[in-house]
Amino acid sequence: MLLLAAALRVVTMLGYRPAWLYWYDSFSYLDVAAHPRPSLGFHPSGYPLFLWLLRPFRDVTVVVGAQHLMGLGIGLMIYAALRRNALPAWGASLATVPGLFDASFLRLEHGVLSDTLFLFLVVGGLVVLGWSPRPAARMCAAAGALLALAALTRTVAVPLLVLVLLVLAVRRMGARRLAALAVAGALPLVAYASWNAAVNGRFMLTGGEGVVLWARTMTFADCSVIKPPPAEAPLCPNGAYQSAASEYVWDPAASLNRMPGGRNANNDLARSFAIRAVLAQPLDYVAAVARDTALAFPWTPVRHPERVTPAFGFARGEWPLRDHPLVHRVRKDYGASVRGLRSAEPYAGFLIAYQYPAYLRGPMIAAVLLLGGLGAIASRAALLPWAAAVFLLVAPVAVLDFDHRYVLPVIPVACMSAALGTAGLARAVGRYGGRRRGRGPVREGELPVRQHA
């Protein structure tokens, strides 16, 4: 299976050259990699630092090649963890199928985006913690460091680190293990925030968390209920409409973007307004999060926002780069490897046909999550990956919006929890059946129960 998955990734690299470069994220990452610095934008600099390690090659093809190897590594880690937990080879292999063969992962790994590195680090941390029922303190420290690096790649992993600590506390892992995880997880975050303070004067990971949470509230905020103070009143909805919460971040007509300095200068004010809105309308906030989270589960992918294509993105054609100063700067730093994407036959044709059957539909994701949740009742090993999978599904929606791309990290983690949970349920049923069949030793002169029957 690993060889087949590797062959698919080779076909992807041959079919679409050199790599998917997305405006604006890919170019921002590459620019920070060429000129390392902590970011005050929406993304921390963890992924650009990974790109910086590969910068001597001056080739984005090397970047996506490394990410395709990470995709294979994620499957290999899950397989190893499941075999370590006594699953049969066929069961452990089955749990890796979506992550290795879903066409959406092929596209994700082939883009200069932080998602593959993020997933690799999260899965690595969960595998280390699940390697034994009571991992040693050094293993907990290693897991904490991996999750901290994931948080420096995408900040949604900061509360994930807290969730992991809570789950381990519920499982009574002991103060020494919890302390090792907490310290190893906190040190990289503190170091990065200190770097940001030294360069930008602000002790923080990013500078855009208030803006994205404000955008989340624009789908339900009612200022007659919120009653914001005069300084925050200009952030109320002003009649601008977007089909998705995330679109308000970029809408020039949205209230935040019409304030002096725009969104970049008003992050703190936006955060204060958003928290006030959530506290004043908690039920509306929960309803908005639940409604958007449910977009992960229809059989046919829903367009959200309406301007995007939610799935089946392999196509024939050419995709030129924008004429923009940032693009020119990145091309100067990376040379001819930064160019418009072009499909190549017959590889692209194969992937276009392959992507339709090789897609995990929404009801299948729901079934995997349900199976993992049921299994977590019977198996302590399934609890942590299941809790992480649910968190990875809901958290991006809670802080900003639903995106089909954000669902992809959920799938391998959910499959791992479902496999562990299924094994736990099978063992529980086996133990119960054994107790029902054997009611203690047969006394001398007494026939076994089956013979009586």
- Taking only the tens place, the pLDDT of each residue in 200-258 is 888 988 888 899 999 999 999 999 999 999 999 999 999 888 889 999 998 999 999 99
Residue 418 has pLDDT above 80, yes or no: yes
pLDDT in the model for residue 436: 61
C-alpha span between 430 and 438 (Å, rounded): 12
Residue 452 has pLDDT above 70, yes or no: no
In three-state secondary structure terms, 70 is helix
Rounded (5°) CA angle 228-229-233: 60
Residue 443 has pLDDT above 60, yes or no: no
Band (pLDDT 50/70/90 cuts) for residue 303 is: confident
Residue 451 has pLDDT above 70, yes or no: no
pLDDT in the model for residue 334: 84
Phi, psi of 394 (to 5 degrees): -85, -35
* Residue 275 identity: I
Contact 166, 4 (CB under 8 A): no
- Taking only the tens place, the pLDDT of each residue in 164-189 is 999 999 988 999 999 999 999 999 99
Q: Which residues pair with 111 in a beta bridge?
A: 20
| Model confidence, pTM | 0.92
Contact 340, 322 (CB under 8 A): no
- Taking only the tens place, the pLDDT of each residue in 254-281 is 999 999 888 888 989 999 999 999 999 9
Q: With pLDDT > 70 as the criterion, what percentage of the chain qualifies?
A: 95
pLDDT in the model for residue 312: 83
pLDDT in the model for residue 428: 75
Residue 309 has pLDDT above 80, yes or no: no
In three-state secondary structure terms, 58 is coil
Band (pLDDT 50/70/90 cuts) for residue 299 is: very high
Say how far residue 127 (Cα) sits from the centre of its chain: 16
Band (pLDDT 50/70/90 cuts) for residue 432 is: low
Q: What is the mean pLDDT of residues 397-417?
A: 94
Contact 43, 61 (CB under 8 A): no
Band (pLDDT 50/70/90 cuts) for residue 438 is: low
* Residue 370 identity: L
pLDDT in the model for residue 348: 96
Nearest to 24 by CA among 152, 113, 118: 113
Q: What is the mean pLDDT of residues 412-438?
A: 81
Tokens 């992924």 belong to 47
Residue 307 has pLDDT above 60, yes or no: yes
Residue 308 has pLDDT above 80, yes or no: no
DSSP-derived secondary structure for 290-322: HHHHGGGS-SSPP-SSTTS--S----SSEEPPP
C-alpha span between 432 and 425 (Å, rounded): 10
